[in-house]
Structure 1
Amino acid sequence: MGLEVERVNEIAARVAASSGLEVVEVDMRGSGNKRMLRIFIDKPGGVTHEDCANVSRELGTILDVEDVIPGGSYVLEVSSPGLDRKLSRPADFQRFVGSRVKLTTRNPVNGNRYFEGRLESFQDGRLTLELGAPKKKVKAGDSAPQKVEMDLSNVEKANLVPEI
């Protein structure tokens, strides 16, 4: 299934680019007749329902004609990444400097793996978070750091935190 996803990503990127959009993520789940192909697209200012419908229509036609996903039916879903979108590429972190994020690290940073705060900067593969209140109690005499720096390579999972 890895080659299928790569091929779908290439085609989806081409289709999206023709409308001034970018593919944020391609996700294929399930097996047999219960397969779900999810494509997340975005552009500065966000995507519209019309953007999603146009990409879905054009992409679906190409995938079916070229038989990119062999073996029967699948459901194609094209949508925006959402308010709590996943951040994974360096471009994502650069774009969302100033936004609230929550993230999990592979290895502890200052004794923690879970952080939530404002993404203050991203440069040369390193990010700086301005932290909010600590998630767990700080021992008397200890002070929680107000900022934390880490390498992007240490980030296991990161999402935007919607601010409404």
Structure 2
Amino acid sequence: MSRKTDHTDTTSLENFLRPLVEQFGCDLEAAEVTPAGRRRLLRVLVDRDGGISLDDVADVTRAISKALDADDVMGDGAYTLEVSSPGVDRPLTLPRHWRRNISRLVAVTLHSGDKLTGRIKTVSDETADLDVDGTLRTVAYADVDKAKVQIEFNRPAGNDEPAPDTAGDAADGTVEEN
């Protein structure tokens, strides 16, 4: 059986890429091929617990490029390879997405139509506990229609708590950067 697949066969492409990405302790979040003029664009999204560095992306990119050069999974024709991490606007669709965003603020729409915004406190394989206005609310992933991390501009990186309100503190010489 030939390994050659149509470039639109995302499942075969993901099955080819997944073990390459996993060698680096990463998860394959998505792989898609889109037309880009005369070429195609192969966009690969990778991530892992604790985040992924630029060096990690470079290592994964080299491994994928080498494997694609040795195999015909992309078929004939030119393509451009792009490897990156998912953006903050990526929906939370798997338990690992929720786990990787513990302490972050998320907006959730449930299948019932209810909407809530809360901070992820704990997660399991089936549920996440959110602090919604001081009340702990357990949300089953099976009940979630859509969930996205909310961008918080006043929250210091790596801090589990929101930044204190510093309005009027400019006289102390501190400057807030965005």
The two structures have a TM-score, normalised by structure 2, of 0.66
Residue number among 3, 7, 10 corresponding to 1:5 in the alignment? 10
**Deviation for aligned residue 1:119:** 1.5
Residue number among 73, 81, 105 corresponding to 1:76 in the alignment? 81
**Deviation for aligned residue 1:63:** 2.3
Structure 1: give runs of 5+ residues left out of the alignment: 133-144
**Corresponding residue for residue 118 of structure 2:** 117
Q: How many residues align?
A: 148
Are 2:80 and 1:91 aligned? no
**Deviation for aligned residue 1:29:** 3.1
Distance 1:98 1:116, change over 3 A: same
Are 2:43 and 1:38 aligned? yes
CA distance in 1: counterparts of 2:150 and 2:7, whole angstroms: 30
CA distance in 2: counterparts of 1:120 and 1:60, whole angstroms: 39
Deviations along 1:97-120, one digit per CA (max 9) or x if unpaired, are 332222333332xxx2x3322123
CA distance in 1: counterparts of 2:79 and 2:147, whole angstroms: 29
SS in 2 for 1:57: helix
Distance 1:89 1:106, change over 3 A: same
**Corresponding residue for residue 154 of structure 1:** 143
**Corresponding residue for residue 54 of structure 1:** 59
Work out which of the two has the higher radius of gyration on C-alpha atoms and give 1 or 2.
Answer: 2
CA distance in 2: counterparts of 1:162 and 1:23, whole angstroms: 24
CA distance in 2: counterparts of 1:156 and 1:2, whole angstroms: 30
**Corresponding residue for residue 136 of structure 1:** none
CA distance in 1: counterparts of 2:131 and 2:61, whole angstroms: 38
SS in 1 for 2:52: coil
Residue number among 11, 14, 20 corresponding to 1:15 in the alignment? 20
CA distance in 1: counterparts of 2:61 and 2:125, whole angstroms: 35
Q: Is the 8 Å Cα contact of residues 4 and 68 (structure 1) preserved in structure 2?
A: no
